[in-house]
Amino acid sequence: MTNQRRWGITVLIAALVGLATISVVGHALRPVPGTASAVSPPGPPSVGDCLSTPDFAEGIAFSESTAGPIRVTQVLPLAPCSGPRFGEVFELLPVLTGADRQRAVCSGLDAFAGRSPAVPGQEWSPASAVSVVATGPNDRQFAAGQRWVACVITAALRGQWDGPSRQHFPAIPSAFAACFGRVGPLRFAPLVDCNSPHRMEVLGRMPIIHTGQTQKDLDTTCQRWASKVTLMPEVTAGGLLSVRALVIDPQDSQEVIDPASLAEGEKTFAMCIGFPSAEDRMLVGPLASLGSAPVPIG
């Protein structure tokens, strides 16, 4: 084959490739039927959605702007889940108005956590060590008109728990356990990590009024309540633990009092507590939701 013929074939192939390329590009640039539209931002979260990170600011912070819509400044990642979580949406407010700033936002925490209001005569309720954080829409969601506020329950010491927080109520997740370094009233006593050595765990709380209740009566109901909170088959573990009620002196919150000595109509509250019976022993883990696991005493 002569060089001239080869050159002609090469030119022909190049021309065909060029035509094919032009055809493909032209097809790609051809208008497609329909109307272009921006992708909408995701909608608000749902009650039960999870917070998967311990990195958050506690409390509820609003934007400082006096003009325009009020906005919660914190934006946290929330998503449906069924496993471990650092927080859980317990309330969703569809919009935040100026009037909301004058009242307690996310005020449903106590009800969700099973903590009864201070109404004398009620039964024991959980003494959950929990707090609340609030999150709102991100910039895209806010620009699209979303104004919701998600109220999120978290463990007071940013612990993680598995599964919905109320699935075993009145038992509480171990991350919600309220532990303290000494046995006695809580005034000036800081909350401590339940996985570090400590002397006392508060298992319940009850507002009381003088109605003839005795210390024995309160201890009995406290132990029944503690069985529900800890899920233990025998709440004293054969005497390893002491479980009893402490009635706080209404005149001095650093002292305890015999309920029989309360004046007529005098109001105070009692704590249901668990602690090692031996004074030289310490708890090294939470009792909440312990079940049949070994008692964490060191």
Please tell me the chain's helix, strand, coil percentages from 3-state DSSP, rounded to the nearest 5: 20, 25, 55
Supply the pLDDT for residue 28.
43
Residue 25: pLDDT band (50, 70, 90) is: very low
Supply the pLDDT for residue 69.
66
Mean pLDDT of 51-62: 88
- Cis bond before residue 69 (omega within 30° of 0): no
Q: Does 182 score more than 50 pLDDT?
A: yes
Residue 73: pLDDT band (50, 70, 90) is: confident
Q: Does 216 score more than 50 pLDDT?
A: yes
Residue 221: pLDDT band (50, 70, 90) is: very high
Supply the pLDDT for residue 33.
59
Tell me what percent of the residues of the chain surpass a pLDDT of 70: 80
Q: Does 203 score more than 90 pLDDT?
A: yes
Q: Burial, 245: exposed, middle or buried (Cβ in 10 Å; 0-12, 13-18, 19+)?
A: buried
CB-based contact 273:183 (threshold 8 Å): yes
Model's pTM, two decimal places?
Answer: 0.78
Mean pLDDT of 89-103: 75
For the chain, the C-alpha Rg in angstroms (whole number) is: 31
Could you tell me which residue, 165 or 201, shows the higher pLDDT?
A: 201
